[in-house]
Structure formats: structure tokens, C-alpha cells
Amino acid sequence: MTVRLDYDSFDLGGMTWEDAEEAIPNADFLVLPTGSVEQHSIHLPVTVDTLRAEALSRELVESASEHDLSMVRLPTLPYGYSEHHMNYAGTITLSAETYMHVVEEIAQSMAKHGAKRLVLLNCHGGNRSPLKLAGDRIQRDHGVKVFFVHWTDFARDKLKERFGEEWGHAGDHETSVIELFYPDLVKSDKKESQTRKARFEARQYTYFDDITEQGGLGDPTESDAEFLEEIVAETTEKILSALSEDMEQEG
Ligand SMILES: [Zn+2]
């Protein structure tokens, strides 16, 4: 996961400072994968979003050269903003302020070494707001262009079409991703349709157990790893096209 021994040539984690001195300013994009450590119902581990960030960023960076893009992948940031999951054991949260500072200071460090563009490849909905605000600061104060990619935004239509409205947290979709990349981490005998406690139209929930019993949404027994494999390939392409189109507009 975040500490791995099989680094690829595009991983900052496997580079010496001499390698990094050359790779960082020459990369079109640095990619920071972002996840979370928070409960994912009774059948999935707390690191689901971090595992997704790790696997999906690898898919992305591996395919970058097919779009004539060069990318350097930073180590996945495992902790995120998860205050709304704190009623379930195992959840670790940074405050929104701390999280924003962490992300900003990672970018600031990379800017010092010549980074031009930074992709925030996010796999946890709770990180969305603090990442956007940190992204604003990074662009304005540190001279690095920021690209915010919430992975599921690029897959949403297809996921909805296949899994219906409630494919989100620990549900059909996330269960499928973990079954595809880390099947040993799914407790198959604990998969069950998640029990909705409330569905608010406008009100914000305070904690996640306001709206769900087991901790998840949707129906993990409907998971489909094979379908997800297609979605990953398609979504990877979509994201790379978007990044390269955005880059072209820089003129
Ligand atoms: Zn998740």
C-alpha cells in the first residue's frame, strides 16, 4: 500500500534525490492519490478509499504515456477528513484544517523542486471540500497548477446505470473495486444489503450512522468485479483525456 517494495519507475517513493531532481520538473503532472481510514461497513476494511487511491492511481499513471503524458506518482496520502464516520471504530480523521495544511505543504515541497502541475486524485467524498480549498491556495500561493480529479465523478453515469442510485459508500461499487484489486480483504460472508435509516432531501446528516445501520449504502451482494474492470479502463482513459485537453488550453 503506502509503503511498498515494488515501486515502479514513475513512483517518487522509489527515487533517489538525483532521480527526483530530474523527474519532478520534467513531469507533465505529479499525481497525489488521496484516500481515508474510515469504516466501510462490516465486510470491508477501513482502508478501502486508500486502497482504491493506490490501485486507481497506478492504473492512471501506467497509461499516461499512451496520451503522451509523463507523470510522477507521489506516495498515497492514507489519512483524510472523516469526522462523520467517527462513531464507528477504526476510523481515523484529520481535522479539515490539518488536512488542508498537509496537502498544501506537500504541494509546496514539490513546488520547491520544480513541479508544474499537480493532480489531486481523490477517492474519498469527505476529502472533496478541503481538497478544493487547498487546491485554491496551492494555485494562488505556490505557482503549481492544480487538477482536481474525484475519481468517481468520471465514472458516475456508468455506475448509476449498472448499480442504481445507492452504489456509494461500501456499497456495490466500492465492494467491486476491492474484489477486483484486493479480493482477500473482502469478508464475503458478511456482505449484506445495507439498511437505510433515513434519506434527507436537504438536511445534512451529522454522523454516518444517522442514515445507515451497518455503515454502508446500497447492496454489496450486487458487486461485480468484472464490470468494474471495464469501468476502470474506461475511466482511466476519460481522466487522461481530460488532463491532456486541459493542458492543451494552457497554450
Ligand atoms: Zn469509501
Cell numbers given for 174:
466500492
- Report phi then psi at 61, rounded to 5: -70, -35
Distance 20 CA to ligand 1 centre (A): 31
Q: pLDDT per residue over 52-65, tens digit each? A: 999 999 999 999 99
* Number of helical (H) and strand (E) elements in the chain, helices listed first: 7, 4
The residue among 221, 160, 219 whose CA lies nearest residue 194 is 219
206: three-class secondary structure by DSSP? coil
Distance 131 CA to ligand 1 centre (A): 16
**Residue 5 confidence (pLDDT):** 64
Q: pLDDT per residue over 159-177, tens digit each? A: 999 999 888 899 999 999 9
Distance 119 CA to ligand 1 centre (A): 19
Distance 41 CA to ligand 1 centre (A): 10
**Residue 6 confidence (pLDDT):** 77
Q: In this structure, are residues 228 and 180 in contact, taking their beta carbons and an 8 Å threshold? A: yes
34, β-bridge pairs: 77, 122
CB-based neighbours (< 5 A) of ligand 1, an ion: 48-49
Stretches where the chain sits below pLDDT 70 are 1-5, 251
Distance 21 CA to ligand 1 centre (A): 34
**Residue 4 confidence (pLDDT):** 58
Residue 224, CA distances (Å) to 106, 142, 184, 193 in order:
36, 42, 15, 14
The residue among 93, 62, 74, 92 whose CA lies nearest residue 34 is 74
Distance 168 CA to ligand 1 centre (A): 7
**What whole-number distance in Å separates Cα of residue 109 and Cα of residue 43?**
38
Distance 33 CA to ligand 1 centre (A): 14
**What whole-number distance in Å separates Cα of residue 157 and Cα of residue 249?**
26
Domain boundaries, the chain: 12-248
Cell numbers given for 192:
449484506
- Superfamily of structural domain 12-248: Creatininase (3.40.50.10310)
Distance 171 CA to ligand 1 centre (A): 9
Q: What is the DSSP letter of 132?
A: H
